[in-house]
Chain A
Amino acid sequence: MVAMPSLPIHCRLAVLALCGLLAATSARADLADATERLAACSACHGEQGEGVRGAEYYPHLAGKPAGYLFEQLQNFRDGRRVNAQMTWLVGSMDDAYMAAIATHYAAMPPRTRPADTGAETLTEAMRQTAVRLVEEGDPARDVPPCTACHGKALTGLEPAIPALVALPADYIIAQLGNWRSGVRHAQPPDCMAEVARDLSPGDIRAIAVWLSRQVAADGAGPAPAGSFLPPRACGAMPHGEAP
């Protein structure tokens, strides 16, 4: 573990609690008959959580960190994220089943190739903006590079930072827009809300369209927990001191 001592104690406890819950659930029972049990999920996210052919909006779930998926299910149930279909489906679901579902999709082979065919053309200007923000950020506006938290390969970081590769552009635009307008929330500190508010709508479009074309190596999943230290405080994730 890199620099764990810089973590506030409550953050470390929260990470441990999350890992404990996930471990307890996966030890208790894998999801038997998962394909049939999760038929409602497959309709939009694909049977293996790989996303659905032709879907230009729904994100893939396969190979994303279990902690991230688990928190999103809770967020839909508890009103921190708003999607009527998702809230409708998980409104009467307890944490244990959510953890089992999250663990199930986290264990699927990660989606690393874009499914998005509907994104607009990436102009040279957009490409330059995107590459600069994704790889270097914008210190003047206090915007960290995406890679600082989501990893050099943009495949995420265990236990709770998701991959950004292979997501549909419209989905990314909607999420950043929802953070800006206060519709989407994460557990505090909600770092993505801060980042999204510091980006302009043009930046968001450029980043989303560029990201939707990125490919990672086949099978590349999230980096192991602690393999690098994100610069910002995000939920219960370990992080370094703010620069």
Chain B
Amino acid sequence: MRSRRLAIALLAALPLLLLILTIGGALLLFQGGLEPYRVPRDAGTPIDADTGLLAHGEYVAAIGNCAGCHTVRGGTAFAGGRPFTTPWGTIYSTNLTPDAEAGLGDWSLPEFRHAMRHGVSRDGVLYPAFPYAHFALLDEADIRALFAWLRTLPASDYRPPPNRLEFPAGWRWTQVLWRMLHYRPQNPDFGAEMPAEWRRGRYLVDGLGHCGMCHGRRGAMGSLPASGYLAGGRIADSGWYAPPLDGQQLARYDASELADYLRSGISPHGSAYGPMGEVVYQSLQHLTAEDARAVATFLKSVPPRTPPRPAQGEAAHSFVAGAADLYEKHCAGCHGRDGEGGKDGAWPPLVDAVAVTAPDPVNAVRMILYGGIAPTTPGNPQPYSMPPFVEALDSAQVAALANYIRVRFGGQPPLVTAEMVRARHGIPAH
């Protein structure tokens, strides 16, 4: 009697079980099947590294900005240890130097290639803080050169601290479930019919440069869904807003201005600041002129995913009393009475600036509080600077100023409150 009931229950559950298996199988297939989990452990063939290959590898490392994540302030370059705070805990970047114990040691080229393209290594499934979704596009020549060059670094025995992640993210196999839900490999053949310059730009933006890590709009559980492709948003673990990258957002730049900006960090339309200043300093200043041009050409071709913003001044909002006087006293001297900027962009215009047009006001608040200096580059060897106002103005005044410039020059509603300004007091470590 009892066993019969069990049999009936099993029979009834069978369709559900089949459904779960089918969905699970499909999701596994969508994230690349089983191949990512077959980590090659063969030794591979030694690379014949001539100086040309190594110079190329150094360029790949610079433009991929490996050191940006894999170096902690004051630490050995490429030896890892930079912390990344996530809602699930802290992840520390790894040591890429050839040290046998602490670094990539006896990794072979096939294993390195596999980790870059699939995000799985001998240590298990990597967390998506490592941009394998982008690096999957890297071509063989770049991966070989990068690997050969990394092996020429001085070995460092520095061991980054172990990750501190909460249950269940601390279990690496849970990343397989995350991948089933949120990882869809890019189509490497996308745009195959486009001109070579555009394809090179796409390779640098979507592949090596992994621009989407900051400029993509994040979805559930830190994912980067296709719907948020370069659509802009709050950067994970930085408290800065990254603008969308598309033809509409970048309309104020022509392609050569944009290419120059990437290498120099300065343009008639604004300077690099915050995390972008860091990226220009560490990485983009090394772009060749051709590659910078390719990136600019590609970015200007990206179709916008955000509706056009209201024209300047269209939003009818009144300013807090005294805001105009604050602007006149503290800002107009450099940014101009009408936000037009000065000194050929060394004093950036506020009209159409990302900080004033962005839906998220955080950049404007942080720039007013803590000022900034554009990165030093060959194209801008002695940058101008913006003073911090954290001591000169109180939170209500900072809010009034941020709202004033965003309404007047960006057509945005006055979202900033003194409480929001207070919440931004204190500079995050990175």
Contact = CB atoms under 8 A, between A and B. Distances in A.
Q: Chain A, interface size: which category?
A: 20 to 34
Interface stretch (B164-172, B353-361, B368-376): B368-376
B278 A40 contact: no
A89 B382 contact: no
Contacts of B392: 43
Nearest to B278: A92
Dominant secondary structure of chain B at its interface with chain A: loop
Interface stretch (A59-67, A80-88, A206-214): A80-88
B119 to A, nearest CB: 29
A85 B388 contact: yes
Contact of A88 (B74, B375, B427): B427
B385 interface: yes
Given A79-B73, A79-B74, A84-B426, A91 B278 contact: yes
Contacts of A84: 426-427, 429
Nearest to B384: A37
A16 interface: no
Interface in B411-430: 426-427, 429
A38 B383 CA distance: 9
Interface string B372-402: 1111100001111111111110000000000
Given A43-B392, A92-B281, A92-B375, A37 B426 contact: no
B371 A40 contact: yes
Nearest to B280: A92
A93 to B, nearest CB: 5
Q: Chain B, interface size: which category?
A: 20 to 34
A87 B387 CA distance: 14
A214 B234 CA distance: 50
A84 to B, nearest CB: 4
A169 B374 CA distance: 33
Contact of A40 (B73, B376, B387): B387
Contacts of B382: 29, 31-32, 37, 97, 100
Contacts of A43: 371, 387-389, 391-392
B83 interface: no
A134 B383 CA distance: 40
Contacts of B390: 85
Contacts of A90: 373
Interface in B276-321: 277-278, 280-282
A57 to B, nearest CB: 10
A193 to B, nearest CB: 16
B373 A93 contact: yes
Contacts of B391: 43-44
Interface of A: 29, 31-32, 36-44, 78-80, 84-85, 87-94, 96-97, 100
Given A78-B74, A97-B381, 8 more contacts: A37-B383, A39-B334, A43-B389, A85-B370, A88-B427, A89-B388, A91-B281, A100-B382
